[in-house]
Amino acid sequence: MSTPESNPSGRRSRRMALGLTALAGLAAGVVLAGLTLVVLGHDDADANPLDDTAPGLSHFSFHPRGCAYQPDRGGMVAHFEVTTSDRGRFTLDVQAVTREGADDLDIVSPHVVRYTVPFYGGRATRQFDVVVPLTDAEHQDGYRRCRYVVNGSQ
């Protein structure tokens, strides 16, 4: 009786079987990794940018375009523009502040409006007007400026 070591065709068959097994394992790993990426990418594409777990925008440009008291609109009106290609939500806190509050971040204003806007990916530029409610008396008391806090960071 011959053994695989003494039979060259037996050694070749064994090597071929090991090679095919390794190739099948590699192919299975590639397919599994591909499916994982497809599933993860599909979940991100279906996520709502306004969900509590949605990420904030990581790459954007924010341009304040002025802030003025407009009594006919009910307070301080902040004009700004946001440009991004990201998918996520943009959150901005607009505060009506006094001259001292504009320069001192430790002074907290009672006049704050939080504004959240979804962006769904693709290059987008949006312009906004946000009204921070303010009475004539509060405006006369010195609330004449706006301070912006973008996505929770000052």
Which tens digits make up the pLDDT trace of 85-100?
999 999 999 999 998 8
> Which pTM was predicted?
0.64
**In whole angstroms, what is the distance from residue 109 CA to residue 89 CA?**
24
pLDDT of residue 72: 97
Q: At residue 20, does pLDDT exceed 70?
A: no
Q: What is the pLDDT of residues 58-87, one digit of tens each?
A: 899 999 999 999 999 999 999 999 999 999
- Residue 82 is inside which H or E element, if any? strand 75-84
The pLDDT of residue 45: 55
* 8 A C-beta contact, residue 136 and residue 72: no
Would you say 146 and 96 are in contact if contact means Cβ atoms under 8 Å apart? yes
> In this structure, which amino acid lies at residue 98?
T
Q: Which pLDDT tens digit goes with each residue over 35-47?
A: 554 444 445 556 7
Task: Give CA separation, 146 vs 55, 62, 68, 76, 134, in Å.
Answer: 26, 15, 8, 8, 12
pLDDT > 80? residue 149: yes
104 vs 93: CA distance, rounded Å: 16
Q: What is the mean pLDDT of residues 23-42?
A: 55
Using DSSP bridges, classify how beta strands 112-120 and 87-97 pair: parallel, antiparallel or unpaired: antiparallel
